[in-house]
């Protein structure tokens, strides 16, 4: 009973707020032990996207806690309350009901920004049983992931550009490749030719490489061939493994671009790591390849990759 009263007070708390804390890609999942037995595999599968670095790293890290742990984690960037009516419990169900009352929302999936802290996303997931919860997640998948990704990239952007934008380097990219991009203040030019610009920053090492391809890209197989070919000509110490390759179509400033992911080797340092390349159509007969590489052996690399991807997402044509 005491825990229920504490939860009711917390969920209605509207006092002074500080900025959210913790890792940007961490999600605190509040769920009762009774419900967790059923919802754990469903929620873990929903957030199972991973990137090989080369070991797989989840894009979002789930941290499972009991509903009464809210007070300890209420200032984190991402909080999700999960509740199903069957089986019944006195903690998760009550917490979700208080969330509904505080937001005046009767939906099974609800969200609220800045509930306890600024730059925070608070989400409630509910179902009569696990089948209804699964159905709701499937129906609202795009909306829910967009909410979470928007909060994630907004918070990450604030951190990445906290020291400002390197206007000189951004102008260099405009002059050479005719694309506008925001670059972190501490990036430097490592190498430059007529068709290539290699930027980097200190340990843990992150590189961004811009290259012009003089041929149109028509399919994924050709894209990998052209990427390997241009690196063999311009930066031969970097080679790409044939394992763990992935591809997808992404939007850059509303323009469809082919995204390649994989693992690279750097001969000079005898190390390697994850990379991605966006192949952006420049004209009918050419493309621009923007490649991000991370070198941080023995450590998690997912957030470093996401920082580089965030920079690419600032591209404007």
pLDDT of residue 6: 40
Domain count, the chain: 2
Q: Residue 269 domain-assigned? A: yes
The CA distance from 254 to 184, in Å, is: 23
The CA-CA-CA angle for residues 120, 49, 149, to 5°, reads: 30
Render pLDDT for 1-11 as a digit per residue (tens, 0 to 9): 334 434 444 54
Judge if 114 and 175 occupy the same domain: no
Judge if 182 and 155 occupy the same domain: no
Q: Residue 317 domain-assigned? A: no
The CA distance from 234 to 247, in Å, is: 23
Judge if 197 and 118 occupy the same domain: no
**Which of 160, 183, 204 marks a domain boundary?**
160
pLDDT of residue 90: 65
What pTM value is reported for the model? Answer: 0.89
Q: Which of 13, 28, 7, 25 is nearest to 90 (CA)?
A: 7
In the 8-state DSSP scheme, what is residue 84? E
Judge if 138 and 18 occupy the same domain: yes
Quick one: how far is CA 92 from the chain centroid?
A: 28
Please, are residues 210 and 187 in contact by the beta-carbon 8 Å criterion?
no
Quick one: how far is CA 181 from the chain centroid?
A: 19
Q: By CB neighbour count within 10 A (0-12 exposed, 13-18 middle, 19+ buried), where does 303 fall?
A: middle
Query: What is the layout of strands, in order, in the sheet containing 121-127?
Result: 61-65, 26-30, 78-84, 121-127, 109-113
pLDDT of residue 88: 75
Q: Residue 298 domain-assigned? A: yes
**Which of 133, 160, 187 marks a domain boundary?**
160
Q: Where are the beta strands (DSSP E) in 68-108?
A: 78-84
Judge if 176 and 301 occupy the same domain: yes
**Which of 160, 195, 228 marks a domain boundary?**
160
Q: By CB neighbour count within 10 A (0-12 exposed, 13-18 middle, 19+ buried), where does 96 fall?
A: buried
Judge if 244 and 98 occupy the same domain: no
Judge if 151 and 178 occupy the same domain: no
* pLDDT, one tens digit for every residue, the chain (317 residues): 334 434 444 545 545 678 999 999 999 999 999 999 999 999 999 999 999 999 999 999 999 999 889 989 999 999 999 989 887 766 666 666 766 666 555 578 888 899 899 999 999 999 999 999 999 999 999 999 999 999 999 999 999 999 999 999 999 999 999 999 999 999 999 999 999 999 999 889 999 999 999 888 889 999 999 999 999 999 999 999 999 999 999 999 988 899 999 999 998 888 999 999 999 887 767 889 999 999 999 999 999 999 999 999 999 98
Q: Residue 190 domain-assigned? A: yes
Judge if 56 and 197 occupy the same domain: no
CATH of the domain at 30: 3.40.50
Judge if 201 and 148 occupy the same domain: no
pLDDT of residue 317: 86
Query: Residue 256's domain spans which residues?
Result: 167-312
Token pair listed for 166: 């390197």
Residues in the chain: 317
């Amino acid at each position: 009973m005491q825990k229920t009263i504490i939860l009711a007070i917390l969920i209605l708390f509207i006092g002074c707020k500080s900025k959210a804390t913790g890792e940007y890609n961490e999600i605190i999942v509040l769920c009762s032990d009774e419900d967790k037995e059923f919802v754990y595999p469903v929620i873990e599968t929903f957030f199972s996207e991973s990137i090989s670095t080369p070991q797989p790293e989840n894009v979002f890290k789930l941290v499972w806690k009991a509903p009464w742990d809210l007070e300890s984690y209420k200032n984190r960037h991402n909080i999700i309350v999960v509740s199903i009516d069957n089986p019944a419990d006195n903690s998760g169900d009550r917490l979700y009901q208080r969330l509904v009352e505080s937001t005046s929302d009767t939906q099974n999936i609800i969200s609220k920004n800045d509930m306890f802290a600024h730059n925070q996303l608070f989400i409630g997931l509910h179902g009569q049983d696990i089948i209804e919860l699964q159905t709701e997640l499937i129906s609202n998948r795009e909306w829910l992931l967009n909410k979470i990704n928007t909060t994630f990239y907004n918070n990450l952007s604030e951190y990445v550009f906290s020291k400002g934008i390197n206007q000189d380097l951004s102008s260099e990219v405009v002059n050479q490749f005719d694309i506008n991009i925001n670059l972190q203040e501490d990036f430097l030019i490592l190498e430059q030719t007529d068709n290539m610009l290699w930027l980097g920053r200190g340990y843990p090492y992150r590189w961004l490489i811009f290259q012009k391809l003089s041929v149109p890209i028509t399919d994924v197989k050709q894209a990998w061939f052209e990427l390997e070919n241009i690196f063999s000509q311009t930066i031969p110490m970097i080679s790409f493994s044939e394992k763990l390759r992935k591809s997808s179509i992404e939007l850059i400033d509303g323009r469809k671009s082919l995204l390649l992911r994989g693992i690279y080797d750097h001969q000079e340092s005898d190390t390697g790591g994850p990379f991605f390349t966006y192949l952006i159509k420049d004209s009918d007969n050419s493309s621009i390849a923007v490649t991000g590489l991370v070198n941080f052996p023995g450590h998690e690399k997912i957030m470093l990759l996401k920082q580089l991807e965030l920079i690419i997402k600032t591209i404007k044509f």
